[in-house]
Chain A
Amino acid sequence: GQNIDQPTEMTATEGAIVQINCTYQTSGFNGLFWYQQHAGEAPTFLSYNVLDGLEEKGRFSSFLSRSKGYSYLLLKELQMKDSASYLCAVRDWEGYSTLTFGKGTMLLVSP
């Protein structure tokens, strides 16, 4: 089976740095994705990790440790518009490329 855990909610202030963790136990692994979803909208792609290590893309970075079944999304220089739900999703095997999503972490950025 698939099990993906992330914190339900986090709060941070504008300009700060926040780290959103994700742990997973899946029957197979072929990549981990992070998506951002604003209320009432569809998710937008943020990052992809398939090998261990850190992937940096502007203000966003994502880290993966396959041996630990662990990933985090790091957001720097937080802005008010970063208030959204952040979804961790794991792709289990390459044939279907299906994603299993965590329940999402609601991040609230305050002034």
Chain B
Amino acid sequence: GAVVSQHPSRVICKSGTSVKIECRSLDFQATTMFWYRQFPKQSLMLMATSNEGSKATYEQGVEKDKFLINHASLTLSTLTVTSAHPEDSSFYICSAQVRGGSADTQYFGPGTRLTVL
């Protein structure tokens, strides 16, 4: 099946610093990648949709200047949490869409657990 990787898997940073998370599709090209955030015992909340070569589309309530998304190639999207604060501590998960067929299924990366001190 389709494999999506994320790096790093876990990061601890000080308040006010910026953190970059990478999402890669390893064995397929993904024209669309998605970024989600999941708080403990909560569902996945879509943050933004990222299309290769164009600006990301952010969901309502998600600050585009705080969560910078770059989708520079068909296999790589990055999420940068700028000036991180403790309330940004969460589990960040990316997914990549496999186009073709009827499903256009999203496959998820393993997630990045961010802890902001």
Contact = CB atoms under 8 A, between A and B. Distances in A.
B67 interface: no
DSSP majority for the A interface? loop
Nearest to B113: A40
A6 to B, nearest CB: 9
Given A50-B102, A103-B43, A104-B43, A97 B110 contact: no
Interface stretch (A18-26, A41-49, A60-68, A76-84): A41-49
28 contacts: A33-B106, A40-B111, A42-B108, A42-B109, A43-B44, A43-B108, A44-B108, A45-B1, A45-B105, A45-B106, A45-B108, A48-B102, A48-B103, A94-B104, A96-B49, A96-B57, A97-B106, A98-B34, A98-B46, A98-B49, A99-B46, A99-B106, A101-B43, A101-B44, A102-B43, A103-B42, A103-B43, A104-B43
B105 A42 contact: no
Interface of A: 31, 33, 35, 40-45, 48, 50, 87, 91, 94, 96-104
Nearest to B106: A99
A48 B46 contact: no
B77 interface: no
Contacts of A31: 103-104
A44 B109 CA distance: 9
Given A33-B105, A35-B108, A43-B108, 20 more contacts: A33-B106, A40-B113, A42-B93, A42-B109, A43-B44, A45-B106, A91-B104, A94-B104, A96-B32, A96-B49, A96-B57, A98-B34, A98-B46, A99-B106, A101-B43, A101-B44, A101-B45, A102-B43, A103-B42, A104-B43
B79 to A, nearest CB: 14
A42 B108 CA distance: 6
Contacts of A96: 32, 49, 57
B33 to A, nearest CB: 11
